[in-house]
Structure 1
Amino acid sequence: MTRPDTATAPTGPGPQAPAGGRSRRGAPRTYDFRRPTKLGREHVRVLQIAQEAFARQATTVLTTMLRTGARLELLGIEQHSYDDYVATLPDPCFLTTFTIEPLAGKGLLAYPLDIAMATVDHMLGGSGAAHQPERPMTAMETTITGQLMTRLLQEFAAAFAHVAVMQPVADDIEYNPALAQAAAGSDTVMVARFTMTIGSREGSASLVLPFSSFAPALSNAASPQLSESAQRKRQRAAQLLAERLELVPVDVSVRFSPLEVSSDDLLSLTVGDVLLLRHPRDAPLEVTTNDTVFAHAIASNHRRRLAAAIVPAPSAAAKDSA
């Protein structure tokens, strides 16, 4: 019996389910057997933290530069082939690709063309409420938009600093999704989907990153590996700590076996009363610190001073005699 290439399965806690998404529990989703899941849960968690940080900072940038109410809110993180992702985009659409040096590959930021035109309107002092044309931007509009893209990419680099150090630079602007070649069609990409609000306009935005370029960095961020210099520093610190601990002064006591008395007898003690210690004459004394017995000793002297000679524990001595 042949197995189909694709099938539907209920959404569950599997690693491909969008993290932080709002899909209804139990809703079916498509699973492509030709492209097994590559994003682990730990990877998704690292990405979610970075993308949420980017969304917060992008919201601040948009509000400041456009001088109007703006918001970017993360909906979820998904894994797709690049072709499958492009098929979900409307035509026309505003798409800007950017390099992610020193990592290989390119990233892509996409959102509705009318919102892109409205951002230009706002930056030129307009209200952004008028009907926006569905056409490629002019040279002046592209330059104005480039200023906004530069700020957004700076916030993107800051949000991902704990994952990988990058210097993203805007590369090109396209309006036909088929022409925005940020990756090969079969390449696996990580897609973060957002709700984007500019003034009274609302639409869907997405930030696309190549999985192969970020896979090692995501693994390191999920399970940090110390560099050789950091390991040497940690080992040296542990050595110094162990050496200092050996020099810490500790109070040590030598005592008879503890005696239990009733509170009535304790309160009625007067000068001259005798307490029977009930310590066997042949039993060694206890050597203690912080009320913990760690050795045994017998009374002795050393150079005309009282001393305690450490002896085997009673149980060890009994075993030896047996």
Structure 2
Amino acid sequence: MTVKEQNSIGAPGMQAPDVEVYDFRRPRTLPREHSRALELVFETFARQWGTQLTARVRVLSSVTCEQVLMQTYDEYAASLPSTTAMVLFSLEGLTPRAVIQFPTAAALAWVGHMLGGTAGGRPVEERKFTQIEQALLRQLMTEALEDLKYSLGSLITAAMTVDTIQYNSQFAQAAATGDLMIVSKFNIRVGEITSLATVAIPAVAIMPQLGEANPTSNTADAQELVLAQVSAVPVTVALRLVPAQVLPQRILTMTLGDLIPIPHPQHRPLDIVVDDHVLARAAMGANGSRLACIIIESEEKRP
């Protein structure tokens, strides 16, 4: 029985809810491991971007990362104001483009500071940028792009360049409507002006480098995998003489200069011990100016 049939039987006259088809081959949520890795990346970018804005606009600025999620481009564009600044970035070898979005009013206030003005907290009119303003913002975005590439590190392999600046979120076709995007939302504070910004990067440019969220191994090779892992674990190796048995009274009466005889024959090799297990025997030697041991007998038992 379908959802519409159930609704029509149980509640006559009620409109059936919209049902969205979910494609399990293209999940729209980030696994926890990927989400945490991307949060660290965008938090690093936020710090870099805030430092860059402070240096450029000569006003104390800060940027904080609020959220990282995966959306289709259609969902991302629908969440933006109809009029806003969208800087599109081309990715070498890929058709979808990345986006840095921020309010035009906030950008105009940044430019005003760069030119020596003071916004004074007054709202700035929303409008398109002049050629001079666009040139200054392109330079600002080029530096932000360098910070973004630095923060992403090995997570992105495609070269990124500033493409165009759009002013309408519905007309700026950075990607196909169904293309998945990694979207990060930021809170930007420049002086007394606070604004919201977003960064959207095509998932196809990042996800392959993140790898599988829950990688599995073939259990048929379990023994080889365990041996490989154990062989890479560092252990402490010690050379040990034959232990001497001493009465507690002798220990309690020890003073400086007392001698304790060691019942280790001079001709007998020393034991090589790992975690109180004797693995081999060795004779004393030298390696340059340092003491060394030469293994002359092994007691290691392999399965």
- TM over 0.5, shorter chain: yes
When residues 120 and 33 of structure 1 are mapped into structure 2, their CA distance, relative to the original with a 3 A threshold, is same
Matched, 1:146 2:134: no
2:197 matched to which residue of 1?
205
Task: Give the conservation status (yes or no) of the 8 Å contact 1:105–1:213.
Answer: no
Aligned 1:52-63 pairs, distance under 5 A: 52-63=43-54
When residues 128 and 101 of structure 1 are mapped into structure 2, their CA distance, relative to the original with a 3 A threshold, is farther
Task: Give the conservation status (yes or no) of the 8 Å contact 2:96–2:176.
Answer: no
Cα displacement (A) at 1:33: 5.4
Task: Give the conservation status (yes or no) of the 8 Å contact 1:63–1:69.
Answer: yes
Aligned 1:43-192 pairs, distance under 5 A: 43-101=34-92, 105-129=96-120, 130-192=122-184
2:2 matched to which residue of 1?
2
Code of the aligned partner of 1:44 = S
Task: Give the conservation status (yes or no) of the 8 Å contact 1:286–1:295.
Answer: no
TM-score (norm 1): 0.62
What stretches of structure 1 move > 3 A for 4+ residues in a row?
1-4, 35-38, 220-223, 249-253, 258-268, 285-296
Rg larger in structure: 1
Code of the aligned partner of 1:207 = V
Aligned residues, how many?
232
TM-score (norm 2): 0.65
Tell me how far apart the structure 2 counterparts of residues 267 and 205 of structure 1 sit (CA, whole Å): 73
Task: Give the conservation status (yes or no) of the 8 Å contact 1:46–1:221.
Answer: no
Task: Give the conservation status (yes or no) of the 8 Å contact 1:287–1:293.
Answer: no
Cα displacement (A) at 1:133: 2.2
Cα displacement (A) at 1:37: 3.4
Cα displacement (A) at 1:42: 1.6
When residues 2 and 197 of structure 1 are mapped into structure 2, their CA distance, relative to the original with a 3 A threshold, is farther
Tell me how far apart the structure 1 counterparts of residues 251 and 115 of structure 2 sit (CA, whole Å): 91
Cα displacement (A) at 1:194: 0.7
- What SS is found at the alignment partner of 1:157? helix
Task: Give the conservation status (yes or no) of the 8 Å contact 2:105–2:127.
Answer: no
Structure 2, unmatched stretches of 5+, are 5-18, 216-227, 232-236, 254-262, 282-296
When residues 252 and 138 of structure 1 are mapped into structure 2, their CA distance, relative to the original with a 3 A threshold, is closer
1:15 matched to which residue of 2?
none
The alignment's C-alpha RMSD in Å is 3.8
Cα displacement (A) at 1:250: 8.2
- What SS is found at the alignment partner of 1:162? helix
1:300 matched to which residue of 2?
none
